[in-house]
């Protein structure tokens, strides 16, 4: 019966992703509104519910820890690549390195992008905030796994 919490987590991720994908790609030209922050909150509720009720086996714990760690790492990676793009603007190498950040941005930052309604930051700095959220959740899962 633990699969229902995984299913809830996946549904919350897909809802948050689908609602936040357009404004996250077009920000600041498209504004983030209350629906986007509600979608982000729904994703966080799904994730926290899965942490509290769905994580039972060591395989589930290690997969979730891996997801959260990569989410934590991706925020810093996006920020560093954005800085590198600004420094080496227009070069072929900057384009290649910049394209590496997009899968990380799509997978890990977009579901949390509704929180940018509160801050109105550019995508790189908001990725650091998303990274911090993933880090807090990683530490929490790590602590719960040891209990």
| Tally of structural domains, the chain | 1
Quote the pTM value.
0.89
Q: Which domain holds residue 112?
A: 3-146
Asked whether residue 29 carries a pLDDT value surpassing 70, the answer given is: no
Per cent of the chain over pLDDT 90 is 48
Asked whether residue 12 carries a pLDDT value surpassing 60, the answer given is: yes
Lowest mean pLDDT, pick from 27-31, 65-69, 104-108, 126-130: 27-31
List CB contacts of 6: < 8 A, sequence separation 6 or more. 50, 54, 60
List CB contacts of 82: < 8 A, sequence separation 6 or more. 101, 122, 123, 124, 127
């Amino acid at each position: 019966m633990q699969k229902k919490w995984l299913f809830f987590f996946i549904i919350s991720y897909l809802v948050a992703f689908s609602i936040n994908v357009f404004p996250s790609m077009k920000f600041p030209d498209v504004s983030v509104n209350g629906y986007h922050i509600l979608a982000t909150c729904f994703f966080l509720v799904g994730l926290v519910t899965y942490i509290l009720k769905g994580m039972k086996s060591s395989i589930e714990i290690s997969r979730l820890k891996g997801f959260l760690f990569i989410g934590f790492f991706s925020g810093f990676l996006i920020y560093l690549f954005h800085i590198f793009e600004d420094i080496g603007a227009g070069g072929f190498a900057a384009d290649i390195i910049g394209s590496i950040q997009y899968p990380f941005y799509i997978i890990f930052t977009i579901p949390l992008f509704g929180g940018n309604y509160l801050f109105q930051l550019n995508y790189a700095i908001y990725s650091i905030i998303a990274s911090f959220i993933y880090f807090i959740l990683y530490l929490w899962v790590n602590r719960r796994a040891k209990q």
